[in-house]
């Protein structure tokens, strides 16, 4: 029996999962983050309309200056065809987002698959890939929190790098089932 790890928490370093680009090349999540703060959204599927709406909101926040220098990284579950499909859909909503897929990234970060539904979620990480905010949910409407994202990015601006033991200071963790 396969088990899903505990969800990644604030203060944890985001796991360096393998990513697949729309053209089929592979990379790692840390390489995609590029050593900068990021808002990383894990889609339920490459065509999830609610996930795409969350990504459009992230782009509006970026355009309004609310994300600062943070990059938007989107990960769909699956292989190269899902990365290609997600990239085509995401590019219409968030042209600056970096879009990938990962066959096992969701599970590696603690996002279960239940009742045939893949959980989705958003992680806000600092330049060292330390998680500053997490929003995970089985309900697609709750897979992204603009307020938690804003709060975490404001915290990053005040204290750019923090590890577990240094006191997370943030209470932006939401796990909804």
Annotate 161-175 with DSSP letters as a single string: ---TTS------EEE
Hey, what domains does the chain have and what are their CATH numbers?
18-159 (3.40.30.10)
Q: What is the pLDDT along the chain (177 residues), one digit of tens a residue?
A: 455 567 899 999 999 999 999 999 999 999 999 999 999 999 999 999 999 999 999 999 999 999 999 999 999 999 999 999 999 999 999 999 999 999 999 999 988 777 678 899 999 999 999 999 999 988 889 999 999 999 999 999 987 655 544 444 433 444 443
Helix (H) / strand (E) containing 134: strand 131-137
For residues 137 and 132, give the distance between their C-alpha atoms in angstroms, rounded to a whole number. Answer: 17
Query: Are the C-beta atoms of 27 and 19 separated by less than 8 Å?
Result: yes
Residue matched to tokens 């992230």: 58
pTM (two decimals): 0.88
Rounded alpha-carbon distances, angstroms, from residue 78 to 39, 89, 159, 176? 20, 15, 35, 23
């Amino acid at each position: 029996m396969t088990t899903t790890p505990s969800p990644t928490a604030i203060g944890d370093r985001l796991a360096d999962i393998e990513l697949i680009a729309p053209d089929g090349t592979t990379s790692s999540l840390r390489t995609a983050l590029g050593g900068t703060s990021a808002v990383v959204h894990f889609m339920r599927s490459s065509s999830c309309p609610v996930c795409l709406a969350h990504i459009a909101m992230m782009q509006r926040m970026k355009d309004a200056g609310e994300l600062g220098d943070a990059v938007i990284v989107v990960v769909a579950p699956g292989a190269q065809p899902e990365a290609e499909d997600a990239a085509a859909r995401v590019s219409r909503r968030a042209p600056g987002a970096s879009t990938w897929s990962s066959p096992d990234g969701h599970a590696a970060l603690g996002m279960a698959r239940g009742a045939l539904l893949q959980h989705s979620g958003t992680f806000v990480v600092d330049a060292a890939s330390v998680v500053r905010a997490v929003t995970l949910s089985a309900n697609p409407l709750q897979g992204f929190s603009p307020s938690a994202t804003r709060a975490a990015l404001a915290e990053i601006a005040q204290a750019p790098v923090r590890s577990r033991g240094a006191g997370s200071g943030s209470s932006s963790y939401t796990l909804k089932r």
